[in-house]
Each structure stands twice: as C-alpha cells, then as structure tokens.
C-alpha cells in the first residue's frame, strides 16, 4: 500500500512539474540531455575535439536546439542579416515566427555583442551573447548568436551553463572566455570591437578579451 501511495505522489508531483515547465516536456528532456553532456565534458569524461565548435555538448545540433528553445521570445533582438533578392524583396535570416504559448516564458537577457571582423564595406560578423535562467533545471545557460549560419551552419548555440547565484552576469565570464579560446584555435585572432552592450559594458568585455588573447598589438590587422 505504501509503495502505491509513493508512486501516486510521484505521478502527481511529475504532473505538477509539467504544468509549470517554461518549456514542453520534450524540450525539458532536451535541455536535461544537453546539461548532462556538458557536465560530462567538464569532468573530462568526454574528449575535446579538433572541431572547436563541437566542444560544448559534443553535438552541434543539440547546442543549437537548446539555444532555439531558450531564445524563442528573443529572436527580434538577435543579429539578423537582411538583403534584397533579385525581385527587390527584403529577405531575412531570421524569419518572423509565432512565439510558443507557455504558462511561464523564458526570458533571455542580453549581455553584449561583439564584431569578429569587418570583411568589407558594410560586411561585419556580429556575435551576440545572452543568458537565460531555466527554472525547471535551476541553471543559467549562455547562448551565442550570429546574424547568419555561415560560421556554424545555424545562427544560435548554447555555449555553457552556470549556477544561478547572485546577479544575472555571475558565472558568464568563464563561459564566454572558454568560447573565445575554442574559436581562437581555428580563427587565430581576437574579435575586432564591441558592437553593442547590455548587462556587460564595452570596457568589461575588452578586459575579458585581454585575459584571453593578450595585447591586440600582438596580432596583425584583422
């Protein structure tokens, strides 16, 4: 009898959790799987690969799927490459999509945006960083967003997590610096400048970059 009562209570508690998840039950599982893989890599149980973009969960598609869940309400605030096609119609990398109906919406916070390089007149390579608190897992997850899929094959990636201590920016520095270090392996130079600011100002972002890259004087023009 006691066993049946416990099973009943577990079922009720699980249903309560599902009722108040900011994400669907499937999305909850996706985020849980991503966190599990990231933690395994942090513990050294998963190898670091030569492909620097595959060193978060080890599955680029999963990094993208988690970011898409977290950034659902924030798409209009992210870098978005636009152009006119041959018929003079305005096109956009980020098509307008209806925001998913949820009892509790996830709320990403903009940290700052950098420009990796200016490769031609009006051609820049912005990358925006956001942090989102996920109450169902009690973690903050940092995402990186580009204005096109030229670099990764997708626009958004989840790049790390931290515990939800103190202010919203607590713990994000290490995540972003590790991301820069991974990219530096293949890119070979620091980002060019701060594109826009949010919770992190330009001076702070530059200090973080100095700790990763050293003096910019050590690099040729980029």
Pick the more confident residue, 128 or 95: 128
120 found inside a domain: yes
Angle at 162 between CA 210 and CA 213, to 5 degrees: 15
Confidence band, pLDDT 50/70/90 cuts, at residue 100: confident
Q: Tokens 């990219």 map to which residue?
A: 183
d(CA 146, CA 144): 7
Higher pLDDT, 89 or 65: 65
Mean pLDDT of 90-110: 76
pLDDT for the residue numbered 14: 46
pLDDT digits (tens, 9 = 90+) for 164-177: 998 999 999 999 99
Helix 202-213 with 172-187: angle, nearest 10 deg: 50
Q: Residue 71 falls within a domain, yes or no?
A: yes
* pLDDT over 60 (residue 25): yes
The reply to whether 222 falls in a domain is no
Q: What percent of the chain has pLDDT over 70?
A: 77
Structural domain including 126 reads 2-217
Predicted TM-score of the model (pTM): 0.83
Residue 2 confidence (pLDDT): 46
Asked, for residue 21, whether it belongs to a domain, the answer is yes
The yes-or-no verdict on residue 120 having pLDDT over 70 is: no
CA within 13 Å, CB half, 81: 16
Taking 60 as the threshold, does the pLDDT of residue 121 lie above it? no
Region 188-207: what's the mean pLDDT? 94
Beta pairing, strands 82-84 & 123-134: unpaired
The H or E element that residue 25 is part of is helix 25-42
Measured CA to CA, the distance from residue 41 to residue 35 in angstroms comes to 10
Mean pLDDT, residues 65-86: 80
pLDDT at 118: 79
What average pLDDT does this structure show over 121-149? 90
Q: Is the pLDDT of residue 26 over 80?
A: yes
For position 218, what pLDDT does the model report? 84
So what's the pLDDT on residue 17?
Answer: 47
Q: Is there a domain that residue 186 lies in? A: yes
Specify the number of domains making up the chain.
1
Report if residue 39 sits inside a domain: yes
Tell me what the pLDDT averaged over the chain comes to.
82
Burial-class residue 154 by CB neighbours within 10 Å (0-12, 13-18, 19+). middle
Helix (H, G, I), strand (E, B) or coil at 217: helix
Q: Of 125, 221, 131, 133, whose CA–CA distance to 175 is shortest? A: 131
């Amino acid at each position: 009898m006691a066993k049946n009562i416990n099973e009943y209570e577990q079922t009720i508690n699980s249903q309560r959790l599902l009722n108040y998840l900011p994400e669907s039950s499937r999305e909850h599982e996706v985020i849980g799987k991503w966190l599990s893989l990231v933690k395994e890599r942090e513990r050294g149980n998963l190898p670091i690969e030569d492909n620097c973009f595959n060193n978060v969960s080890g599955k680029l598609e999963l990094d993208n799927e988690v970011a898409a869940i977290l950034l659902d309400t924030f798409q209009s605030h992210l870098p978005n490459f636009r152009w006119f096609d041959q018929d003079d119609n305005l096109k956009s990398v980020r098509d307008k999509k209806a925001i998913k109906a949820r009892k509790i919406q996830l709320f990403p916070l903009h940290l700052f945006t950098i420009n990796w390089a200016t490769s031609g007149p009006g051609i820049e390579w912005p990358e925006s960083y956001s942090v989102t608190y996920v109450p169902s897992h009690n973690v903050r997850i940092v995402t990186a967003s580009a204005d096109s899929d030229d670099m990764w094959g997708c626009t958004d990636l989840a790049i790390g997590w931290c515990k939800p201590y103190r202010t919203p920016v607590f713990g994000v520095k290490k995540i972003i610096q590790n991301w820069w270090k991974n990219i530096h392996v293949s890119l070979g130079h620091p980002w060019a400048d701060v594109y826009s600011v949010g919770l992190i100002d330009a001076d702070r972002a530059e200090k973080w970059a100095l700790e990763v890259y050293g003096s910019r004087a050590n690099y040729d023009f980029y």
